[in-house]
Amino acid sequence: MIEPPVTIYTDGACRGNPGPGGWGVILSRGRQYKELYGGEPETTNNRMELTAAIKALEALKRPLPVILYTDSKYLVQGMTQWLPKWKAKGWRKADGKPVENADLWKVLDEAASVHDVQWHWVRGHNGNPGNERADTLANLGIDTIHAAP
């Protein structure tokens, strides 16, 4: 029996780059629906995009088919085009320089390897309800950083 996929929307946000950042995730499958968010006091937008995808995949309790939507071309291209080359070159880019955010790419690679993930880019801030909600959650993640004592 083929399992229905989990649909995931992720987004990362940063106020300043670097600056306080947040990530937001929506997971849905059938009638199941869950939202997650968090933040970091000093980070970059790309790190928050990667963190959102990591948190989403780590939230799954068992291997499942996944359709993941993000407005980050960095995330989609990294997972679908660049990652195999980086790994083959010892986490170095074509120019020989170290891969930026390699620590998170490695965690994401491991988290994704458990699932059958389809990576899809969507245009940000373009009225897609899942993307808009993930953005709201990412900004809520930043707000929690500012509200922390």
The annotated binding site for Mg(2+) is made up of 11, 49, 71, 135
Q: What is the DSSP letter of 102?
A: H
Is 125 considered catalytic here? yes
Q: Which of 12, 21, 22, 78 is catalytic?
A: 12
**Catalytic (active site) residue 95:** no
Q: Does 143 qualify as catalytic in the annotation?
A: no
* Residue 67: Cβ-neighbour burial (10 angstroms; 0-12, 13-18, 19+): middle
Report the distance separating Cα 39 and Cα 81, nearest Å. Answer: 28
CA 95/CA 105 separation, integer angstroms: 18
Annotated catalytic, 116? no
Could you confirm whether 103 is annotated as catalytic? no
Location of structure tokens 């998170």 = 104
CA 85 vs CA 21, 79, 94, 102: distances in Å:
28, 11, 8, 13
DSSP state of 18: S
- The catalytically annotated residue of 11, 24, 39, 141 is 11
If you ran DSSP here, which 8-state letter would residue 31 be given? T
- Out of 49, 78, 115, 141, pick the active-site residue: 49
Choose the catalytic residue: 21, 22, 40, 71: 71
- Residues belonging to the binding site are 11, 49, 71, 135
Residue 115 bears catalytic tag:
no
Catalytic residue IDs: 11-12, 49, 71, 125, 135
